[in-house]
Structure 1
């Protein structure tokens, strides 16, 4: 075991260790962080694209463009009547002789074609496995004739831990032995669970669990049953010896079907309704 974030009396933290920590926290992919202008591309002319400030993490390796500045990239002139796709990448490189590492923006020029030009190939690489080159695709630059007509973003912007906490936010609205109501993911998902007793009649084989009005009260007047998932099971085999089929929705109401049907009296149903909002 070797300490990383601690003073040992001599330089000891390696870039590989630092990348491993980042991969463990953020993930092993390549992302732009949610800071600054998030490395936004700005077409300055048909020969120049400016990449604004921000921070990226490429396989655990971080690099940045300072705030309120930009990196300028030169795009080679297009040809009249031809189309081309150039690729802007963030390229990690390690010098094979002195082991010095770098991460810079590069333009990989595509091959002109009269129609349907292909994007150029790039070097995927695996930094932690020791590859000397590893590209992170950033933008496709679409060139038609002499003009840059489009710059397509290819990277994913990853949120902060605060963003994740807000997305996963849990709020308990009701919590009793009979019923629990709560929301998750910042209110995007609502769950109603609990237990109830319904009375069943002989040789009917089903019982209504929830009315349209109950569902509206829980999930809103404009709720769509296609966004609702339901789970039930027989919560008390002493009260009623039956087996459950899957619950069904009919005319906006929820019914529980069971067998055998030659039973009557109280029947306990444990349930869980989950609704995903649009």
Structure 2
């Protein structure tokens, strides 16, 4: 067993080559997270040119960690065999990776896997070996070409779009912002001392800022609750705080703890 293999390391000039495509593929698969098409360029957009031709535009494709691209300004024209009158068929346009094995010869092509015509169209079977574990052939479905009679009636995307790291960062920030503005938060005040037969207004901060003033629900707990009358009410709210009034109807001062929950409006 060879054990750990250095990849981004320098070796002596007389040493045998030690980096193969499958080494880079393992790294790309770890980063890319599986098969798919990057958002760069036209992301392999498909266009129907005729009932016998579908054009795939520029983009970057990952198949089992192995990368290919249709350069900017170029394209791949995929030939579709004629349909048959009163029959339906599904063809699959694939990005195909083949290898003879570790350190061997690899090829990547864009091909059309033809389905079987019949009353009901079904997808043809694809070969999807796990290249990382030694598989030799993997076909990534790009588009399903639906043929009814003699005509192509639809081209359906089958691959996953793989966002860039910057796009993922912006997406996470957007989701965090939406959750921040939709998730209720809870809190408890410190004990509020309220004078006899009087009230006290206390500003309570949420600890975060909502997109707009939330709805606040309050209740009492703790403090001097062996008294005949006390209460609380919300006087006002802002996006970052609310004012609570504690009311004491007793002949001596008392302490009150207020539990609260802020519900974002529109959540």
2:124 is the counterpart of 1:120:
yes
- 1:185 pairs with one of 175, 186, 204: 175
How far apart in 2 are the matches of 1:129 and 1:240? 69
CA contact 2:101–2:134 (8 Å) conserved in 1: no
TM-score by length of 2: 0.68
Report which of the two structures shows the higher radius of gyration computed on alpha carbons: 2
The root-mean-square deviation of aligned C-alpha atoms, in Å, is: 3.6
1:6 lines up with 2:12 in the alignment: no
Please report the TM-score for the alignment, with normalisation by the length of structure 1. 0.66
Cα pair distance change 1:274/1:124, threshold 3 Å? farther
Distance 1:240 1:112, change over 3 A: farther
Please tell me whether the aligned partners of residues 50 and 73 of structure 1 are also in contact (alpha carbons under 8 angstroms): yes
Please report how far the alpha carbon of residue 268 of structure 1 lies from its aligned counterpart in structure 2 after TM superposition.
5.2
Question: Structure 1: which 5+ runs fail to align?
Answer: 170-183, 200-213, 242-263
Indicate conservation of the 8 Å contact 1:189/1:274, yes or no. Answer: no
Asked if the contact 1:91/1:106 (under 8 Å) is kept, the reply is yes
Q: What is the CA-CA distance between 1:85 and the residue it aligns to?
A: 0.7
Change (3 A) 1:129 1:45: same
1:196 matched to 2:188:
yes
Please give the alpha-carbon distance, in whole angstroms, between the structure 1 residues aligned to 2:68 and 2:128.
Answer: 17
1:129 aligns with 2:126: no
Q: Which sits farther off after the overlay, 95-104 or 127-136? A: 95-104
For residue 106 of structure 2, what is the aligned residue in structure 1?
Answer: 101
What residue number does 1:266 align with? Answer: 256
The secondary structure found in structure 1 opposite 2:189 is: strand
Map of 2:95 onto structure 1:
90
Instruction: Find the partner of 1:49 among 45, 54, 72.
Output: 54
Number of residues of Structure 1 aligned to a counterpart in Structure 2: 214
Relative contact order, higher structure (CA 8 A, sep 6+)? 2
Taking the aligned partners of 1:141 and 1:68, their CA distance within structure 2 comes to 23
Question: What displacement does 1:266 show?
Answer: 2.3
Distance 1:73 1:94, change over 3 A: same
